[in-house]
Structure 1
Amino acid sequence: MSRGIGEFDGIQGAIPDWLAIGIALLTQLGDIWFIALLLGGLYWWQVAPRADIATVAGVWLAGIGLYRGLKEVFAFPRPNELLLDPAELPIVVQQVYESTAFATGYGFPSGHAVGTTIVYFGLAHVLPIRTRRRRFVIAGGLVAAVSVSRVALGLHYVVDVVAGVGVGLVLLVTVQALISRSQLDQVIVAGLVAIGFGVFYVVTSAGAPAAILTLTITVAAVAGWRWLDSG
């Protein structure tokens, strides 16, 4: 299957070398470590009702299990079109670039696109900041920026990020529909979906350690919320 016809010439060719580091840093807005810190901070400082933040986190965990499971199912490789040869950079800058602009594993769908779509649009729905329209415009801009950065860095084809955004949106809408029809706590609903997709990832990866760890973290998060909520 050809997924990369013509994408890189148009995007990478328009980016000067000096901007490569900035793009590598921009893509961190979709990294797991950054999103975990963001959600943890919002939860701790109660910027919105904690149940709402925890629900977004639950859908995000569901997205991780889903996109990683889909990667195993499709097993489509990443492109081999680096934006910049790290050897051309000063040694200090080179280390920063290599730690932020590289990825391994399968490429379809883009996990960054899935995660940013779920988290930023999810937060736009629940945060009481500015107007709803402005929140969604900002969320859309962040999702687009991270998605373009993944293609620009040569880590994904365009179809990977488009599919990732689609997966994230479908998952958000699906979980919201389940919550509206369920008598269970909204966080528990999102958590159960996350556990289900965690199991999906374990099965599709034939019990890979990363999949088992993902499922374990998800179960612990749901149990932790249940304990906090009951207390």
Structure 2
Amino acid sequence: MRLEETSAAVRDATPAEYAEFVVWITELGGTTVLMVLLAVLFWCGDRRRTALVTSYAVAGLALVLTLKTLFGLPRPPADALLVSLEGAREGYGFPSGHAFAAAVVYGGLVSVYDRRGDPLAVAGAGTLVAAVSLSRVALGVHYLSDVIAGAVLGIAFVIAMDRLTGGDPTTGFAIALVLAVPAVVVAGGTEDSLLGLGGSIGGLLGSRQLTALPDLRSRLEGAILVAVGGGFVVVLRGLEAIVGAVEPLLVVLYALLIAGILLVPALVGGLEFDALESPR
């Protein structure tokens, strides 16, 4: 049912000496990499569209966590692991969260940026989703059926969110909040469920100010945004370790994280330097 034999064949075909490369590939579907990608695209690119995809990601996190808990299917046994990975045995295995997140973010960017008719964009997103999915099987943390279900569900989720949001990021974060509440109830106060709840609240508040944000004036301002915003994210991630045991504070912290990412351009946009007015 979960394609155990095919999954074992994929693991056996993966040489141990390539383990570090496979781990690098799998991180392309992890929360940290996807959050950094969306933050940089938001600061330096089309803010409304990127905020919309960010709302998809937050909403999807809550949905897939709920589904994982409801299905309650285990991961492959410990002896299937290609290498020792921190947290590799935590949580349930079906559907794959990494495959789902990769499909939602990379597929969402193709859809929201109106690149569905671009073969290169579609092929690039598809390659990333496939690579992340297979890496999860090769590492021994998922069965093949887990990643197939995660990727298919992620694509279907993007299609549904495209229709439900009407291109409005605030609506996207409102949907995320609706999905996040049952996720916390079903899965308990896990880091991912609290990130979904706090992120949806922060996104809902921050996205309401998108139209008031100043336009990006230059490449220099983009670099400053990345530096200031990146520093903000690092500080909050550091605070996460301090307040980690206090669930309400984590929700507040995650709300500040997403709202802060969305509102950093308002802070940097107030700087009055001639160099920032140079053409891009």
- Range class of TM-score, shorter chain: 0.7 to 0.9
Secondary structure at 1:221 match in 2: helix
The answer on whether the counterparts of 2:81 and 2:141 sit within 8 Å (CA) in structure 1 is: no
Q: 1:60 and 1:157 mapped to 2: Cα distance? A: 23
2:182 equivalent to 1:200: yes
Q: Return the offset for 1:159.
A: 1.0
In 2, Cα distance between equivalents of 1:5 and 1:25: 24
Residue 118 of structure 2 aligns with which residue?
Answer: 132
Equivalents in 2 of 1:172, 1:58: separation in Å? 11
Counterpart AA for 1:44:
W
- Which residue in 2 is equivalent to 1:154? 140
Tell me how many residue pairs correspond in the alignment: 211
- State the alpha-carbon separation in 2 of the partners of residues 70 and 119 from structure 1: 18
Report the secondary structure of 2:4's partner residue.
coil
Percent identity between the two aligned chains: 34
Contact 1:71 1:109 in 2 (8 A): yes
Counterpart of 2:82 in structure 1 is 84
| Residues 198 and 160 of structure 1, relative CA distance in 2, 3 Å threshold | same
Question: TM-score with structure 1 length normalisation?
Answer: 0.83
1:30 aligns with 2:16: no
1:82-127 deviations in whole A, cap 9, x for unaligned?
A: 34355xxxxxxxxxxx35x835111111100110001111112344
Counterpart in the other structure of 1:92: none
Query: Any stretches of 5+ residues in structure 2 without a counterpart?
Result: 214-280
Q: SS of the counterpart of 1:6?
A: helix
C-alpha distance in 1 between matches for 2:201 and 2:72: 26
Go from structure 1 to structure 2 and tell me whether the alpha carbon gap of 1:128 and 1:164 turns closer, same or farther (over 3 Å shift). Answer: closer
Inter-partner Cα distance in structure 2 for 1:5 and 1:102 = 18
Answer yes or no: is the 8 Å Cα contact 2:101–2:154 preserved in 1: yes
Tell me whether 67-76 or 185-194 shows the greater mean CA deviation. 185-194
Higher relative contact order, chain-length normalized (CA < 8 Å, sep 6+):
1
Residue equivalent to 1:115: 101
State whether structure 2 residue 56 is matched by structure 1 residue 59: yes
1:60 maps to a residue whose letter is: A
Structure 1: how far apart are the matches of 2:89 and 2:123?
28
Give the distance between the partners of 2:49 and 2:28, measured in 1 at CA: 21
RMSD: 2.2
* 1:186 counterpart residue number: 168
Judge conservation of contact 1:20–1:83 (CA < 8 Å) in 2.
Answer: no
Paired letter, 1:201 = A
Q: Give per-residue Cα distances to partners, 1:32-70, cap 9 Å, x unaligned.
A: 000000000011111xx2110000010111110000011
CA 85–186 in structure 1, closer or farther in 2 if over 3 Å, else same: closer
**Unaligned 5+ residue runs, structure 1?**
87-97
Evaluate the alpha carbon distance shift between residue 5 and residue 209 of structure 1 in structure 2; reply closer, same or farther with a 3 A threshold. closer
Quote how far apart the aligned CAs of 1:5 are. 2.7
Task: Report the TM-score when normalising by structure 2.
Answer: 0.69
The CA deviation at 1:3 is 2.2
